[in-house]
Amino acid sequence: MTSGVGAPTRASISARTLRTDRWWLPPLLTNLGLFAFVAYATVRSFMGKWYWVEDYGYLTPFYSPCLSESCLPGSSHFGTPLPELPGWIPLGFVALPFLLGFRLTCYYYRKAYYRSVWQSPPACAVAEPHASYSGETRLPLIVQNAHRYFFYVALLVSVVNTYDAVVALTHGLGVGNLILLTNVVLLWAYTLSCHSCRHIAGGRLKHFSKHPVRYRAWTLVSKLNVHHMRLAWTTLGTLVLTDLYVMLVASGAISDLRIF
C-alpha cells in the first residue's frame, strides 16, 4: 500500500487500529438507518397502492407528483401528461431519481456513507480497507459535483409537496394535514440548509457590505445550515412517517382523526 496509512512516510503499524473504544458503533448505526430507509422507500414506491386518500386529499410524498394515467383519480394535482405505466415503474418516478440524487450527493450524507458504507475511513485513527484513493475526481464519485443541480430540482419538489399539503387543507383539517404540513416545513428547512444553497446565497462575493440582501439570506441559511445533519435524519423520519400515515388511512387500517 503506497498511499493513506500505508504510505512510506507514515508510522509502520500493522494493527488496523489501536483504538479500544466502540468506534464501529456510529458507522453501524448509520448503515442500519440508511438501509432501513432505502428498504422502506423501495417497497413503498413499487407498491402502487394506498398512496392517496380521496376524502381528505392526502397524497404521500413518495408518489408526488403523480403524472400518469395510472394514478388514482384526484391524485394528479398537475394533470396526467404521461400514459399508463407498467407496474414495475414507480408512479412517483419523475421526482424520485432527483430526490435520491439530492440526498446521495448531499455533503452530510456523503460523510455518513463514506464512513459507514465506503469505510473510507470508518472512524478517526482506523485504517481504511482501500489501497488507493481517487476522491471525487473519477466515476462514479465525480457525480457528487452535480449536487448543486439536484438542489434546484429539490426546490421544485418542495414546492410541489407544499402544494399537495395546501390542497389537502381544502378538505378540512385532520391529523393527516398536520403531519403533511410538518413534513413540508421540515423538508424546506432541510433543502434551504443545503451547503449549495448557502453558496448560492452568499458565495463568490468579495464584499458582503455591498450586497446586504444576499448577506441577510446567507446569514439565515447559515443558521439553518448548522442543523443540516439533524435535518437530514429528521426528514428521513418524517418522510417515512408521513407515507406510513397516508398508507394506513388509505388502506382503512386506521381512521384519520378529524379536527374540523
Q: Does 233 bind ligand FES (CB under 6 A)?
A: no
Choices 62-70, 103-111, 177-185, 199-207 (CB under 6 A): range interacting with ligand FES: 103-111
Q: Among positive and negative, which fits the CA dihedral 141, 145, 149, 153?
A: positive
Q: Does 196 bind ligand FES (CB under 6 A)?
A: yes
Q: Does 194 bind ligand FES (CB under 6 A)?
A: yes
| Contact partners, residue 87, CB within 8 Å, separation at least 6 | 46, 48
Question: What span, in angstroms and rounded, lies between the C-alpha atoms of 228 and 238?
Answer: 15
Interface residue with ligand FES, options 16, 130, 195, 258 (CB under 6 A): 195
| Residue with Cβ nearer ligand FES (197 or 249) | 197
Interface residue with ligand FES, options 50, 51, 63, 108 (CB under 6 A): 108
| Residue with Cβ nearer ligand FES (63 or 151) | 151
Question: What span, in angstroms and rounded, lies between the C-alpha atoms of 231 and 102?
Answer: 14
**Cα atoms found within 13 Å of the Cα of residue 123, Cβ hemisphere only:** 15
Interface residue with ligand FES, options 112, 228, 238, 246 (CB under 6 A): 228
Site residue total, ligand FES (CB under 6 A): 9
Question: In whole angstroms, how close is the CB of 155 to ligand FES at the nearest point?
Answer: 11
What count of other Cβ atoms lies within 10 Å of the Cβ of residue 135? Answer: 9
Short-list 253, 108, 260, CA closest to 174: 260
Q: Does 192 bind ligand FES (CB under 6 A)?
A: no
